[in-house]
Chain A
Amino acid sequence: GAVVSQHPSRVICKSGTSVKIECRSLDFQATTMFWYRQFPKQSLMLMATSNEGSKATYEQGVEKDKFLINHASLTLSTLTVTSAHPEDSSFYICSASPTARGYTFGSGTRLTVV
């Protein structure tokens, strides 16, 4: 089946530094990837839609200069949290759609900013 690999699974960083999260489609080409954020006991909230070779589309209220998304190839999308602060601590999950109606998710990244 379609697999999405996400790394790292956990990261702790100091306030003010940047963190990069990678999401790879292992056995299919993903022209579109989705980035979600999940706070404890909350729903997955869509942050942005990443399109290969073009600029990402951000949801309302998501700072595009803080959450940099790069989708340079059909198998890799990255999310960089720039100048991270404690309020950015969350669980970040990527997703891709290998078929018109199917979605597969990465295993998630727990970001803790101290």
Chain B
Amino acid sequence: EDQVTQSPEALRLQEGESSSLNCSYTVSGLRGLFWYRQDPGKGPEFLFTLYSAGEEKEKERLKATLTKKESFLHITAPKPEDSATYLCAVQINQAGTALIFGKGTTLSVSS
């Protein structure tokens, strides 16, 4: 069964304290791995897509990496406005199929 597992479930950081979120996956035929940010009561906001092991992408304080079994979202010197739930999702097999989501990691950054 295709599965996406995120850890930790919740993470509390001080402003400026860097850390990483993990997304491990067990799927058949990975086409792409997606990272989204979700604020309370809102829909997911796209961050990154990774397609192959070794790929890395960066956006401001965020950097996503991908291996054959997992992905990491590194947060460098976070700010309070980075507080949100970060969702990992995978697209498998065919183009246009629905994403399979992990449960997310809720990040709280205090000043």
Contact = CB atoms under 8 A, between A and B. Distances in A.
A43 B49 contact: no
Contacts, number: 57
A104 interface: yes
Contacts of A108: 41-43
A24 B91 CA distance: 22
Contacts of A101: 31-32, 49, 51, 91, 95
A110 B41 contact: yes
A12 to B, nearest CB: 14
Interface residues of B, number: 27
Contacts of B44: 44, 93, 105
B96 A44 contact: no
Interface hub of B41, B43, B89 (most chain A Cβ within 10 A): B43
Nearest to B85: A41
Q: Is the interface of A mostly helix, strand, loop or mixed?
A: strand
A43 B103 contact: yes
A102 B41 contact: no
Contacts of A6: 43
A97 B103 contact: no
Interface of A: 6, 9, 32, 34, 36, 41-46, 49, 91, 93, 95, 97, 100-108, 110
22 contacts: A34-B99, A36-B101, A41-B106, A43-B101, A43-B103, A44-B87, A44-B101, A46-B100, A49-B98, A91-B41, A93-B43, A95-B99, A101-B31, A101-B91, A102-B49, A103-B91, A103-B99, A105-B36, A105-B43, A105-B44, A107-B43, A108-B43
Interface of B: 4, 9, 31-32, 34, 36, 41-46, 49, 51, 87, 89, 91, 95-96, 98-104, 106
Given A6-B43, A42-B103, A44-B44, 9 more contacts: A32-B96, A46-B98, A49-B98, A100-B95, A101-B51, A101-B95, A103-B34, A105-B44, A106-B43
